[in-house]
Structure 1
């Protein structure tokens, strides 16, 4: 299994959008609408240099969106193609996000997820993230979590 994590390019947009659609589609019924990541502008994220892709044996199998903020790196999105799930790629992307944050001299990484995505909240908790607050934003009930990188 040959893998590489690299910055996304415009040529990657069809694969990125396919992964996002497939990874988040199961949550539409649970949430009652499309989750936030299904509404994002991935071309703009690629242009800004915020989007990385995980390439496995020549195919894009995961994405990672990192947005620098004043006090923490925001892990805005992590998604793995459904066919590649269950192989530890999500955890690999989380670790990569933490490494990128450290390299950028951040002491903290922050993320949010929909409160209906209980399995994601559990995964993030197992990976050392602690819930900081819950809020409704853009009509979505979000759970914010942080991890100290110090």
Structure 2
């Protein structure tokens, strides 16, 4: 018999979630953000959501607006909950926010070695548009490239400059 689970909910990231957010990021990323960095992001007004089921944090993202672009700053899914569509759900929520703020494009960076994330981003409509060499730390004295990815989410402005 299949176990029936409560549906996951997307909620605004609030300060009470920060210890769990930092713990999930530490479990999911080789060089995670600190709880202070997430707190600073909230203070700066960045857009952030958590994906929660029955009080348990499944994943989250934090993004910012810059002119007519939206930039994904950080996204993680708890390792025990990866491969269940939660990353895709978070990216859909991110895109909905980008559309809501009238962003024309959505940008992100991903480690060149993170094939699983790159595949997810491509499946969700992101295209590789460049790279930043030696961007991410791997080990002391060793760095890897960041792959820049973009997804167009807006419609071109009609007309021209008035």
**Equivalent of 1:42 in 28, 38, 41:** 38
Q: Displaced runs of 4+ in structure 1, greater than 4 A?
A: none
Unaligned runs of 5+ in 2: 1-5, 138-143, 155-162
Is the 1:7–1:49 Cα contact (8 Å) retained in structure 2? Answer: no
2: distance between equivalents of 1:78 and 1:92? 11
TM value normalised by structure 2? 0.79
In the alignment of these two chains, the number of paired residues is 140
TM value normalised by structure 1? 0.85
Tell me the secondary structure at the aligned position of residue 38 of structure 1.
coil
Moved more, 41-50 or 123-132: 41-50
2: distance between equivalents of 1:95 and 1:20? 19
Give CA deviations for 1:41-63 in whole Å, capped at 9, x if unaligned.
11101223322111112222111
For 1:45-56, list aligned pairs within 5 A.
45-50=41-46, 51-56=48-53
**Equivalent of 2:23 in 12, 18, 21:** 18
* Rg larger for: 2
Tell me the secondary structure at the aligned position of residue 41 of structure 1.
helix
Unaligned runs of 5+ in 1: 29-33
Give CA deviations for 1:73-103 in whole Å, capped at 9, x if unaligned.
0011111111111210000000110000000
Q: Hey, what does 2:157 align to over in structure 1?
A: none
Greater per-residue helix proportion:
1
2: distance between equivalents of 1:52 and 1:88? 16
Give CA deviations for 1:14-67 in whole Å, capped at 9, x if unaligned.
10011000111xxx4xxxxx3xx4357111012233221111122221111111
**Equivalent of 1:145 in 139, 142, 149:** 149
Q: Shift of residue 2 of structure 1?
A: 2.8
RMSD: 1.8
